[in-house]
Structure 1
Amino acid sequence: MKVYIARIKKILPPSYDLDYISEKIYPKELAGEKITKLVKKFAKNMHIKQKPTAIDLDSIPEIKLKRKEDHPKEWGKKIVKELSEKIGIENIGFLSVAYNVTYNKDFLPNLTSQIVMETGLKTDIPPEELAYYGCAAGVISLKNAAEFCKKFNKAAISFTFDQCSNIASFIYDPKNPMFKEAIKSNLLFSDGGVGILLIPESMKSKFDHPLIELIEFKIDHVPGNTIRMENGVFVLENSLKDEIPPIVSEKVIKPILSEKDIPLSDIKEWALHQGGPAILEEFKKPEILGLSEEQLSTSYEMFNIYGNMSAPSCLLVLDKYFSNKENKSGTKGMIVGFGAGYYMASALYKWE
């Protein structure tokens, strides 16, 4: 049985200019004029225009959610409501929620259960909550939802979000060994989510726009520690750009193409995790993947607009492709997520 992506819905808190965010996180009265200037220089070199953030910038150094509607439960409820409008909530039998960082503090019952109870969703199998699978979480969640569709001939929702502002680290002492790491993570990571409605082939006639058929998934794990939390600070070692892309290529991209006997040149859309320009540049190297500037352009664009959104990042790129409703029948693409752990996952798809 074929499984399709029928709808994609992104959800974002307010976005702010990165220069403005740097001023709010590192105000002169707390950090001093010298550090404020240094942070602005960091921000300029990030190549991020706007950053969605759920944090109350006026409460720094206290970390708190600015708007009640940006609580992840409210996001989840909105995703379920909007994605079920076309087919009816009674035809959705599974919900998968994935994230790494959340503002949800009432974790029992878990966030997914809370969303199910408050939306009236009746699931055929227990809903799942995938936490701390790094930036591969969204693809893993998508795989589980697709498997449900095949087995039960019903629709499913995969909702992936991250609220990285909840682990902001306000370090104002340059002598602190975590000082620069804190600046980098505070400016790089953003907040947002992506909900995806998956349907079995039997529901295809309910939609009059082009759909994406999910063909194959590949998930792998190679232990690695260049991405980690250390003493409450998010650490990204400089070596990760050299270490992770070759592993991702060899473990979850090349194998799936080989198994399906599909040449690399046949993949026209690359929904590749936009961890940052340095990471994306590595995928251009012939020995890694040899992708062109054009093939990576959408990942670059999403990074420039939103920064690194962690788990939903690659799905944000997919949403950009999905929003283009031109006839792309037969066009193939890949969704690729990778990050801390190192967890990595890919999905091969084709436009109907």
Structure 2
Amino acid sequence: MKVYIAKITKVLPPSYNLDYISEKIYPKELTGEKITKLAKKFAKNMHIKQKPTAIDLNSIPEVKLKRKEDHPKEWGKKVVKELSEKIGIENIGFLSVAYNVTYNKDFLPNLASQIVMETGLKTDVPPEELAYYGCAAGIISLKNAVDFCKKYNKAAISFTFDQCSNIASFIYDPKDPLFKEAIKSNLLFSDGGVGILLIPESMKDRFDYPLIELIDFKIAHVPGNTIRMEKGVFVLENNLKKEIPPIVSEKVIKPILNERNISISDIKEWALHQGGPTLLEEFKKPEVLGLSEKQLSVAYDMFSIYGNMSAPSCLLVLDKYFSNKENKSGTRGMIVGFGAGYYIASALYKWE
């Protein structure tokens, strides 16, 4: 049985210019002019134009959610409502929720259960909650939703989000060994989510626009620690951009292409996790993948608009491709996510 992506929806908090965010997190009245200038320099070098954040920038150094509607349960309810409008909530039998960081404090019953109860979803199997699977979490969630659709011949929802601002680390002492790491993570990571409606082939006729067929998945785990939490600070070691792309290529991209007898040039859409420009550049190297500037262009664009959103990042790139409803019949694409752990995953798809 074929399974399709029928609809994608985004949920985002307010977005701000990154230079403005740096000034709010590192105001000279609190940190001194030298640190403020350093933060602004970091912001300029990140090539992020705007960044969505759920944090109340006027409450810093206290970390708190600015708007009630940006609580992840409210995001989940919104996603379920929007994705069920066309096919009816009674035809959706599974919900998978994936994330790494959340503002949800009332974690029993879990977030997935809370969303089910407050939306009226009648699931055929228990709702799923995947936490701390890094930036591959969204693809793992997608695979589980696809497996459900095939087994039960019903629709499923995959909702992937992250609220990285909830682990903002306000370190103002330059002598602290994690000082610069804190600046980098505070400015790099953003908040938002992506909801995806998966349908079995039997429901395809309900949609009158091109759909994406999900063909194959690869999920792997290679122990690695260049991405980690250390004393409450998100640490990204400089060598991760050299270490991770070759692993991703060898473990979850090339195996699918080889098994399907597909060349890299045959993949026209690359929904890559946009961890940052320097990381994306590594995928251009012939020994990694040899991707072209054009193949990476959408990932670059989404990074400049959203920053690094962690788990839903690659799905934001996918949404950009999906929003272009031109006739792309037969066009192939890949969704690729990778992050802490290292958990890495990919999905091969084709437009029908």
TM-score normalized with structure 1 length: 1.00
Match of 1:310?
Answer: 310
Query: What is the CA-CA distance between 1:189 and the residue it aligns to?
Result: 0.2
Measure, in 1, the Cα distance between the counterparts of 2:343 and 2:67: 32
- Please give the secondary structure, in 2, of the residue aligned with 1:295: helix
The letter for the 2-side match of 1:317 is V
Structure 1 unaligned segments of length 5 or more: list them. Answer: none
TM-score normalized with structure 2 length: 1.00
Query: What is the CA-CA distance between 1:265 and the residue it aligns to?
Result: 1.0
Identity score, percent: 89
Measure, in 2, the Cα distance between the counterparts of 1:13 and 1:273: 20
Measure, in 1, the Cα distance between the counterparts of 2:188 and 2:116: 32
Measure, in 1, the Cα distance between the counterparts of 2:232 and 2:293: 36
Measure, in 2, the Cα distance between the counterparts of 1:64 and 1:269: 37
Q: What does the per-residue CA deviation read over 1:218-260, in whole Å, with 9 as the maximum and x for residues that have no partner?
A: 0000000000000000000000001000000000000001111
- Please give the secondary structure, in 2, of the residue aligned with 1:86: coil
Structure 1 segment 172-183 matched on structure 2, within 5 A:
172-183=172-183
Q: What does the per-residue CA deviation read over 1:150-182, in whole Å, with 9 as the maximum and x for residues that have no partner?
A: 000000000000000000000001000000000
The letter for the 2-side match of 1:261 is N
Match of 1:212?
Answer: 212
Measure, in 2, the Cα distance between the counterparts of 1:262 and 1:33: 54
Q: What does the per-residue CA deviation read over 1:160-207, in whole Å, with 9 as the maximum and x for residues that have no partner?
A: 000000000000010000000000000000000000000000000000
Measure, in 1, the Cα distance between the counterparts of 2:104 and 2:124: 25
Match of 1:157?
Answer: 157
Match of 1:47?
Answer: 47
The letter for the 1-side match of 2:112 is T
Query: What is the CA-CA distance between 1:264 and the residue it aligns to?
Result: 1.2
The letter for the 1-side match of 2:41 is K
Q: What does the per-residue CA deviation read over 1:108-129, in whole Å, with 9 as the maximum and x for residues that have no partner?
A: 0000000000000000001100
Measure, in 1, the Cα distance between the counterparts of 2:249 and 2:78: 35
2:236 equivalent to 1:232:
no
RMSD: 0.3
Structure 1 segment 11-22 matched on structure 2, within 5 A:
11-22=11-22
Query: What is the CA-CA distance between 1:29 and the residue it aligns to?
Result: 1.5
2:122 equivalent to 1:122:
yes
Match of 2:61?
Answer: 61
2:268 equivalent to 1:268:
yes
The letter for the 1-side match of 2:100 is N
Match of 1:196?
Answer: 196
Query: What is the CA-CA distance between 1:136 and the residue it aligns to?
Result: 0.1
Match of 1:350?
Answer: 350
Query: What is the CA-CA distance between 1:346 and the residue it aligns to?
Result: 0.2
2:66 equivalent to 1:103:
no
Measure, in 2, the Cα distance between the counterparts of 1:262 and 1:171: 48
The letter for the 1-side match of 2:80 is V
Measure, in 2, the Cα distance between the counterparts of 1:30 and 1:144: 47
- Please give the secondary structure, in 1, of the residue aligned with 2:294: coil
Measure, in 2, the Cα distance between the counterparts of 1:23 and 1:304: 19
Query: What is the CA-CA distance between 1:30 and the residue it aligns to?
Result: 1.2
Query: What is the CA-CA distance between 1:261 and the residue it aligns to?
Result: 1.0
Match of 1:325?
Answer: 325
Query: What is the CA-CA distance between 1:22 and the residue it aligns to?
Result: 0.3
The letter for the 1-side match of 2:43 is A
Match of 1:142?
Answer: 142
Measure, in 1, the Cα distance between the counterparts of 2:31 and 2:53: 21
Structure 1 segments (4+ residues) deviating >2 Å: none
The letter for the 2-side match of 1:137 is A
Query: What is the CA-CA distance between 1:213 and the residue it aligns to?
Result: 0.2
